[in-house]
A and B are shown apart, each in its own frame.
Chain A
Amino acid sequence: MTTAPNIIPDFDSGNPDRTLAIICSKGNLDMAYPGLILANAALGEGITTHLFFTFWGFDMIIKSRMEHLQFSPAGNTALHMPGHDLHIPQAVAPMMTGMATKMLKQQIADIGIPEVPDFLDQIVAAGGHLWGCRLSADMNKLTKDDLRDDVEDIINASDFIEMTDGAQLLFI
């Protein structure tokens, strides 16, 4: 057996100043996850990560709402039973949202993905920054006290633009 020269992974490659800013604008349970998953992945790669919650996405950081995000099949033509191609009816029957939410939560839990508040805890523990949107706060008649304690501040659109100078942006 011939021995090759040593190989050491280059964990320091990539731009050390890389910053990712994710705008979370949706409050449906299914649409809360893409931003959280990408933020978590970015943090795990050593990338500075900001999450800005605006409009419906504001529900993700409102203490009284963040545990109750819902999922509706209405209008979602790509909804199938897990493992099947069969479409799920989109007509919103009574209780459909509740049932669909329960089902989605179970599917998410089954693959070891945390619920939204728990996921945000993890993102903050990994060094992520959470920001609330001024307009959404005013519109909803909410203050910083209504938001998760780890939301750093409520900022306006200009603050956000200024803060994310040079960052990569994702709008979800």
Chain B
Amino acid sequence: MPVIEIAGKQVHVNEEGFLTEYDEWDEDIAQVLAQQIDVSLTDEHWKVIRFLRADFATEGESATTRRVQTVGGIPVKEQFALFPKKPAKKMAYIAGLPKPKGCV
């Protein structure tokens, strides 16, 4: 796994650039990751990212858009507005988590 530098910190990523170590992520890194994919983080974005982080900590899997709606309380429509086109992948990327495995 490559090691790259983000926000002055060295982090492990996979071949696509997703962070692979949960504990290497922090909010400064998230800012840079978001910037890199043209997302400017607002409080609404942070709400999603914090949910994803907390959910991954207990579930060991990245939440799907469905789960972010039903468990996280953030409607799918809003997720698409916040992370256009590919919300599930973009929010997982910014949250320093793997792409969701679930189909729905």
Contact = CB atoms under 8 A, between A and B. Distances in A.
Interface string A79-119: 00000000000000000000000000000000011100001
Interface residues of B, number: 33
Contact of A11 (B6, B65, B67, B90): B90
Contact of B13 (A7, A37, A113, A119): A7
Contacts, number: 75
Contacts of A45: 85-86
Nearest to A47: B85
Contact of B89 (A2, A5, A11, A126): A11
Given A9-B89, A44-B86, A114-B104, A3 B4 contact: yes
B69 A122 contact: yes
Contact of B4 (A7, A11, A37): A7
Contacts of B65: 44, 122, 126
Interface residues of A, number: 24
A16 B6 CA distance: 29
A46 B37 CA distance: 15
B73 interface: no
Contact of A9 (B2, B37, B70): B37
B76 A125 contact: yes
A131 to B, nearest CB: 20
Contact of B3 (A2, A122, A125): A2
B76 A11 contact: no
Interface in B60-78: 65-67, 69-70, 75-77
Interface in A7-46: 7-9, 11, 37, 40-41, 44-46
A8 B37 contact: yes
Contacts of B25: none
